A and B are shown apart, each in its own frame.
Chain A
Amino acid sequence: MRTEALPRPRAAEDGLVARLVAGSTLPILTIAAAVVLIWYVAAIFLNAPVLRDSYERAGRAGVTTQELIADAWAMERPILPAPHQVAFELNKTVFQIDPTSRRSLVYHAWVTLSSALLGFAMGALLGIVLAVGIVHVRTLERSLMPWIIASQTIPILAIAPMIIVVLAAVGIVGLVPKAFISAYLCFFPVTIGMVKGLTSPEPIQLDLMRTYSASTGQTFFMLRWPSALPYLFASLKVAVALAVVGAIVGELPTGAQAGIGARLLAGSYYGQTIQIWAALIGAAVLAGLSVALVGLVERITLRHMGARP
């Protein structure tokens, strides 16, 4: 009989270039380069009609293609700003301006993130509680599940203003209403994932608990909960991205003073397309960082639980 443990696979110790090719860095950079290229070309074609109109009005004739391209990439209020214009705007509003200033994107991002995280926490908790109830009480599954699914068929844009208005009427304003909208979006994937996860133990694993005459609580904490964790993290990644979306949507209907959503709204009032694009990218980065953070916690937790490296 073999009594030695199986050897762990050896970590790859190749060169930097080899790792770039083998890893995901090179493919991601390739796609990014392609997107930027298409973006520049699109900026020329989308902005050209506006420019030609302005040349006509100014009575300028014989504008060369080079001049047109240069102008298309340097408009103040372009239909589609060029990537470098958005990059300059981002650099200015993220790094050059004091983060506490209302003109700083960092300030607005923090406003959105704080309500997104509060909503994420509330939604995740609600999602877990609902799942635990559904798994343990048969009648809850039949009575709650249709409503949970129905709740997600309502467009968030339709219900968000209602939530804000109703909560404002009972005196709840500011961060919390936005967090409610995030939570409304968040709880659903968590409930679905956790119901699946909490019922994932195999019959043989449950029988084992029965032979020890374990209590429902012991079975939950020693078997169902650890079995459900991989499902929970998958759901949390979806949920945290939705939380950011929810917070931004929550900022739109109220004409909020601060937040990424307010920034988008202000940009569209004044035709500041560069500002809108910068805010969009800020939102994407925010959601991406949140998902990455959940992913990091997931890796640490699952590694601690003996997942294969």
Chain B
Amino acid sequence: MSGLSLHRKIEENTGLLIFGILFVSAIGGLVQLLPVLNQESLAIATENTRLYSAVELTGRDIYIREGCHVCHTQQVRPLVAELERYGPYSRADEFVYDRPFLWGSKRTGPDLHRIGGKFSDDWHRIHLINPRAVIPNSIMPAYPWLDSTPASATGNITAKLRTLVLLGHPYTEQDMANAESDLAGLTEMQALIAYLQMLGLGYSEEVMQ
């Protein structure tokens, strides 16, 4: 049977065509995804892995809601210029509790994976209320509403922690019991800054050497 007559069978049978497309398109995904999804080293927490506190997790969800990842990456590449500009390159074990991942695809603004501790909380607050107050040429949007919205308005934090426990994040009953009171009195601005200030800080220098 020649190739063309084999193909005639496929192109004259709707079911065969559907099956053929599904089978042929699935191969690449199976070969690439299955080994990676089963690779334990990508999912094991190390001393580089930080479990987000209730406040930091809330800040992270605000970061997602406002689309910060649209213009800021969180993925320092192992290149001389990037090590110098941002700090140690990003490792897989730092992202074990990142759901979703926030590596981004575009650097309209700088990478933020090592931003923690580089600026003061006050600087971040002024910058987020009006970026041009501290960086004259900045094209970043302003986020004034974060300063007047309570962090608890971001969503039910206890329910979030419970969902993450289902997914294997090691929050304790204590963490969940305290979550709401941890957020009490904080604004969304404070939660977001708490998140920004912990980015990259979990990274232990010894592991690098």
A pairs with B: no
